[in-house]
Structure 1
Amino acid sequence: MSASLGAVPSALADSAQSTSPDWHVVATGLDNPRHLSVSGNALYVAEAGTGGSGPCQAGPEGDEVCFGTSGAITKITRHGQHRVVRGLPSLAAPDGSAAIGPTDVMAHGRHWVATIGLGADPAVRADMPTTGRKLLGTMVTGKWWKAKHHRMISTRPRVLADLAAFEAANDPDGVGPDSNPGGFARTRHGFVVADAGANAVLKVSARGRIRVIGVLDSPGTEPAPFPPFPEIEMQAVPTSVIAAPDGSVYVSELVGFPFKAGASRIHRFSRTGHHSIVATGLTNVTDLAWYRGSLYAVQIADEGLLAAGEDLPMGSLVKVMPGGMAKTVLDDLPAPYGVAFSRGRGYVTTCAVCPDGGQVVAFNLSGK
């Protein structure tokens, strides 16, 4: 779904503090911000939250993550930023970093739709509090209305599709149940969702019926970064979906451990389900977006996530040129994740693994 921001981007950028010659900050203090979208005169950002007091369990990378209801959706306009949906489930490290929770959001009129991650075998939900048991690993929807001071608040989210339950019952890639719903795109008859845990691209109808569009194959093997350095198969890890004018969908790929630089691809699925690779040589891609017929991609870590070690990864926004080559649009972005465009201006979420440190930055597309 696309919409125009009209004159709001200029108002946002003009009132923001510049941190770089290339971009301006338009929102701060976000908790692990991921994908974002434009609707009407506003931006909407999915915040994965900061976890909570528990219960705790092993996360996707083996570290402990604890449950809480700190996930949120933030609305950004020229008047400021406001969390319009609160209380969504979140799993994060004890310090609130690297959270799993709300991952993507779209708004249209009074309605909103979001995906909420899980990053585990769906069976772990049985041991979660009610909110986690019902909402982790799902696509949810809700409505908002105006409250005091013209601020928006939301109804309780309703599950549109239980993607984790579908993974538990079907396991399309055949390597064991694991679900982590991520970016999605709206289509004529519903939505297409990237499930990063399942390595699958799923179609969700307007009534919540789920079917598999495709399963991403491994991009290859890579020596493990520890003795005796055995060859390991990298997981594909789809992260986002965008729709193309011809009815096809494009899917970005992060690539799993050891997160090799240059191993990420962009996939295309036609309306009939035919799969092809449209770009290679990218690194740890988290989001895609179209602008005036050109394809843009966010790389969360230009040198690969493993190369960052304990430091915050530095990434970029690139323009995918004909033939699959990439042209850098913005670089030296701290852990960027989502991207959206409107009328000559782009927006990127940064510090996507940071509690209370995430931002949305805006930049002009002139010459880029």
Structure 2
Amino acid sequence: MTRPRTVLLSALVASTASAALAAAALVPADAHPRHEPDDLTTITALSGPRGVDSVGRGLTLVTEDDGTFSLVVERRDGTAVVRELGGLPAAAGFAQAISAARGKVYFLTGGGGAAEGLPPGAATLYVWSGGTLEPLADIGGHQEGDGDPYDLEGVPTDTNPFGLHALKDGTVLVVDAGGNDLLRVWPDGTVKTVAVFKPRVVAVPDDLPEPPAGPLRRMDRGAPEPEPEAPTTPAESVPTSVTVGADGYWYVGELRGFPATPGTSQVWRIKPGSLGAVCDPAAYDRRHYRAAKHPVKHRSSCTRYADGLTSIMDLAADRRGAIYAVSLSKAGWLQAESGTPGAEVGGLFRITPHRHHSHVRELVPGELTLPGGVDVAKDGDIYLTGPVFGPGALMKLD
């Protein structure tokens, strides 16, 4: 997705922003959840925003396409101040995810190619603390020695760290869109593979556009281009997002590789503490249900939580058990990059458990253009970023 970037240690920190960030943990949450949000407002303008993390009432971390990460402070008069905390040079037109925990802020640089061919500073997890930015873990180096066993393109060491979530125990969950896996990073930089996501056989859309060379296309082709007469083709998972649900489980959302067939992005539910899990969509497809009397999904540490979504860019969770998924484009990322009219319309979906399946409901339909990030504040407000390309904004749904 992004061209490799090099690290720039930054000590440019506003003291007021640092104090606000530290105070965020002291703000109490509302005792009673509010009604389901339905009013979308713009907080402040941003450039190509994606990463978003609500760290307290009225305090939100964001990333922009110039490589900077900032703290947005909402004022009582309805205005907001954007305080830049630091960043990396030349973000190559796309901002990565951001997550904070225990007074530290984490974010990623992308890769977009074989790990062994990337320059220093690419495919790396960084930590910002006390005004200092430092590399914490070499994600590309881990992928170089632990390639994707289900790779479809002949580049098993492909890496593009894309989403993350900082855990309360000091470790960080990272999803690698190129490596098709979920990783866990410890404070000493140790990286272990939590789960790998197998490809899924999908239908080839009738209106398949000519593949462009856009930023999402570079992120992960996801499959060899099918023959024109092929009705189906395998497509890689391309995980883009991870969050922790109210139940403590880890949830991962997929973009879905080429041909980006709408309705084939899944949300996976992974048991906390897992290592080496395999998330296999074949175990949930109809043909498998007809062939197997006892699907192994009930005993697996990785189970499918939701299906039928399209081009998931980010996930978030609220305190009541709902998972929120942001769709870059309801027509699919390939249609959006190809300039198909109407494909710029994205979506926000609320996913809730319902007996033995999940219920999916779209919020504010038709109001989001190429959204990239979502997070839920403790008081129930939902923060969104987008469009991810060009002029964008931080928005709030309350």
Q: Which has the higher contact order (CA 8 A, sep 6+)?
A: 2
Which residue does 1:234 correspond to in 2? 235
- For the 8 Å contact 1:262–1:282, the answer to whether it is kept is yes
Q: Structure 2, unaligned stretches of length 5 or more?
A: 1-23, 30-37, 75-79, 211-226, 275-300
Q: How big is each residue's C-alpha offset from its partner over 1:230-280, in whole Å with a ceiling of 9 and x where there is no partner?
A: 343111011111123444211011111111111011001113531110111
Task: Assess if the C-alpha contact under 8 Å between 1:223 and 1:229 holds in 2.
Answer: no
The root-mean-square deviation of aligned C-alpha atoms, in Å, is: 2.4
Q: Tell me the CA shift for residue 85 of structure 1.
A: 1.1
**Corresponding residue for residue 320 of structure 1:** 351
Whether 1:181 and 2:161 are equivalent positions in the alignment is: yes
Q: Does 1:262 align with 2:238?
A: no
TM-score, normalising length: structure 2: 0.70
2:323 is matched with 295
Which residue matches 1:148?
none
Q: Deviation per CA, 1:74-130, whole angstroms, max 9, x where unpaired?
A: 2100241122213345234xxxxxx3xx4121234753211221222223323xxxx
Distance 1:362 1:73 in 2: 18
Match of 1:190 among 171, 174, 179: 171
**Counterpart in 2 of 1:18?**
none
Which residue identity is paired with 1:327? Answer: R
Of residues 214-223 and 306-315 in structure 1, the stretch that sits farther from structure 2 once superposed is 306-315
TM-score, structure 1 normalization? 0.75
Residue 348 of structure 1 is matched in structure 2 by: 384
Give the Cα separation in 2 of the matches to 1:280 and 1:107: 29
Determine which of 125, 128, 132 is the counterpart of 1:139.
Answer: 125
SS of match in other structure, 1:33 = coil
Residue 63 of structure 2 is aligned to residue 36 of structure 1: no
Q: Which consecutive residues of structure 1, in runs of 5 or more, have no partner in the other structure? A: 8-20, 50-69, 93-98, 127-132, 145-153
**Which of 300, 305, 315 is 1:278 aligned to?**
305
Q: Do the aligned residues in 1 keep the contact of 2:114 with 2:158 (CA within 8 Å)?
A: yes
Given that residues 38 and 341 in structure 1 are in contact (C-alpha distance below 8 angstroms), is that contact kept between their aligned partners in structure 2? Answer: yes
Is the 8 Å Cα contact of residues 4 and 39 (structure 1) preserved in structure 2? no
Q: Letter of the 2:376 partner, please give it.
A: F
Paired residue total = 301
Instruction: Report what 1:17 is aligned to.
Output: none
Q: 1:293 to 1:3 in 2, by over 3 A?
A: farther
Secondary structure, counterpart of 2:113 in structure 1 = coil
Distance 2:396 2:311 in 1: 22
Q: Which structure features the higher share of strand residues?
A: 1
SS of the equivalent of 1:91 reads: coil
Q: CA deviation at 1:71?
A: 0.8
- The aligned amino acid for 1:138 is T
Paired residue type of 1:143: S
Matched, 1:76 2:72: yes
Q: Secondary structure at the match of 2:200?
A: coil
Task: Report the secondary structure of 1:306's partner residue.
Answer: helix
Whether 2:104 is the aligned partner of 1:103: answer no
Q: Percent identity?
A: 25
Residues in 2 aligned to 1:248 and 1:110: alpha-carbon distance in whole angstroms: 23
In structure 2, the CA distance between the partners of 1:244 and 1:4, relative to structure 1 (3 Å rule), is farther
Q: Separation in 2 of the partners of 1:249 and 1:137?
A: 22
Q: Summarize deviations over 1:325-367 as a string: whole Å, max 9, x none.
A: 3111122200011111221311110101x23x02111121xxx
Letter in 1 for 2:123: G
